[in-house]
Amino acid sequence: MRWAKRIIAVLVVVGLVLAAKDAVQRWRAEVTTVQVRVEDIDQQLDSVSQGSGEAASREVSTGERQRLIDERTRLLGSLPTWQNVSFGSIILAAMFYAVGLLPPACVLHGALRGFHVPCSLARATAAQLLGHAGKYVPGKAMVVVLRVSAIVSTSRTDSLPAVMPDVPSRQPMIGRATTCVFFETLLMMSVGGALAGCLMWSTPLPQWVKWAASLMAVAACIPTLPPVMRRVIELVSKRRARSQSNDSTKPDAKLPDVSSAITWPRLVSGWGWSLLSWCLIGLSFACVMKAIPAYDGLPVGHELLTVATAAISLGMVLGFASLLPGGAGVREWVTLVVLGTVTDPTHALLCVITARILFIVVESVLALVSHLYLRTVSV
């Protein structure tokens, strides 16, 4: 597994370097083309200004001059420079992404209720958001540690649900909370994979890629079926119990009836919340794409949203599957491949870099706010 991760990392780095090299070359060519065309327009503007003084000629010259000025402005605005970036769209993208991180907390909270772990929705939300800070640690284990520690904190538990008269001790509660975190993560990634597989058919990718994406969508849906999900959770809990026994620690108590915790209504609700999250993340990425000028233009309306959602969801799911910290490199490379079907390499590369930085900033801010909230309620 360690060697596989290293090979994947090397291949991804090589792919990104080649993509960056191509984007730089394309950028230079675009700048040169724009400069030549702007100089040509400037010469035409000079010739129009020196036209005949007759009234009819002046009307023609005025119309031609305005057309040339508009064309010159459009060309200069097509280059992705700091002056041309729409910071309003960037702020909107940050807001959509922040809101998009909230629905999975409802999935986590529902799972905690199903497994009889006392935790309010506010604390579950804070735990979910705090966990994003652990995505960039090798192995991703820190995500689970941060979320579980926030859920089962020995500090006062605020607004405990009244349906939980029997509060389990700390050790069994750690095991149950870990299972709930696993449930939410698996469901989120499964829904993302299914959504990406369906949306791939709206892109100009080759047919074999679309069929492969369809198979991925079907495979991603299988773990979300209650019988399969119950079996997976039972296997995970047994494996964790054996691990605890080998560590000479008190083994985890038996989980509550999994069939009563993993039900069709709970999974349907989880699908809905996860789907909403992916749609908001896709909308955020669409705003990033819109904020950065594209030399060859971009799709409009629902076409842009569809491609953006397909690209970012597939990139994040495969990045998660790579087990690399934060899916570093894998997410960007996969997203670049999808975006390359609708935009130029320079624009695609700038979009994935901007999105990565923006998402890290938003996750860091929300994680800090969640940490401060958990410290406040623990006092």
pLDDT of 118-151, one tens digit each? 899 999 999 999 988 877 765 567 888 889 989 9
| Residue 131 placed within a domain | yes
Cβ–Cβ under 8 Å, residues 178 and 139:
no
Question: Of 69-73, 220-224, 283-287, 367-371, which gets the smallest average pLDDT?
Answer: 69-73
Whether the Cβ atoms of residue 196 and residue 228 lie closer than 8 Å to each other: no
Q: Residue 133 carries which DSSP code? A: G
Q: Does residue 15 belong to any structural domain of this protein?
A: no
**Shared domain check, 45 and 174:** no
112 and 56 share one domain = no
Angle, vertex CA 21, rays to CA 20 and CA 24, nearest 5: 85
DSSP states of 101-148 as a string? TSHHHHHHHHHHHHTT----HHHHHHHHHHHGGGTTSTTSHHHHHHHH
Query: What's the N-to-C CA distance of the chain in angstroms?
Result: 43
Q: What is the pLDDT of residue 337?
A: 85
Residue 16 belongs to some domain of the structure: no
Distance of alpha carbon 102 from alpha carbon 57, whole angstroms = 62
Decide which of 304 and 35 is more confident.
304
Residue 277 above 90 pLDDT? Answer: yes
Task: State the amino acid at position 27 in one-letter form.
Answer: W
Q: CA distances (Å), 52 to each of 44, 67, 224, in order?
A: 14, 18, 75
Within this chain, do residues 189 and 247 fall inside the same structural domain, yes or no? yes
Please tell me the chain's helix, strand, coil percentages from 3-state DSSP, rounded to the nearest 5: 75, 0, 25
Q: What is the pTM of this model?
A: 0.78
From 51, 77, 103, the end of a domain falls on 77
Q: Is 343 left (phi over 0), alpha (psi -120 to 50) or beta?
A: beta
- The tokens for 165 are 């008269």
Same domain, yes or no: 46 and 183 = no
Which whole number is the average pLDDT over 178-204?
Answer: 89
Question: Is 3 part of a structural domain of the chain?
Answer: no
Together in a domain, 329 and 363: yes
**Domain carrying residue 176:** 87-378
Model confidence at 335, pLDDT cuts 50, 70, 90, reads: confident
CA dihedral 305, 311, 313, 319 (to 10 degrees): -160
Say whether both 56 and 133 belong to one domain.
Answer: no
pLDDT at 241 over 50: yes
Contact 282, 298 (CB under 8 A): no
Cα–Cα distance measured from residue 89 to residue 304, given in angstroms and rounded to the nearest whole number: 14
- What 3-state class would DSSP assign to 164? coil
Residue given tokens 């130029």 in the structure block = 344
**48 and 112 inside one domain:** no
Residue 190 gets the label, from left (phi > 0), alpha (psi -120 to 50) or beta, of alpha
CB contact set of 184 (below 8 Å; sequence gap of 6+): 104, 107, 108, 111, 128, 270
366 and 217 together in one domain: yes
Alpha-carbon distance of 378 to 81, in angstroms, equals 47
At 168-178, the pLDDT tens digits run 556 678 888 88
Between CA 135 and CA 181 the distance in angstroms is 14
53, 77, 101: which is the final residue of a domain?
77
Position 176 scores a pLDDT of 85
Q: Is residue 222 part of a domain?
A: yes
Per the domain annotation, does 2 fall within a domain? no
Do 227 and 340 lie in one domain? The reply is yes
Return the exposure string of 212-247: e unless at least 16 CB atoms fall within 10 Å of the residue's CB, then b.
ebeebbeebbeebebeebbebbeebbeebbeebeee
Closest by alpha carbon to 124, among 362, 370, 326, 320? 370
Tell me, yes or no, whether 30 and 121 share the same domain: no
pLDDT band at 26 (very low <50, low <70, confident <90, very high): low
Residue 29 in domain = yes
Whether residue 27 is found in the same domain as residue 130:
no
Would you state the structure tokens that stand for residue 304, as one six-digit string?
């842009």
With 80 as the cut, is the pLDDT of residue 188 above it?
yes
Number of domains into which the chain is organized: 2
Residues 295 and 370 in one domain: yes
Q: Which of 66-80, 157-171, 267-281, 294-308 has the highest mean pLDDT?
A: 267-281
Helices (H) and strands (E) in the chain, counts: 14, 0
* Furthest CA-CA distance within the chain: 100
Q: Which one of 42, 59, 77 terminates a domain?
A: 77
Nearest to 99 by CA among 273, 269, 265, 290: 273
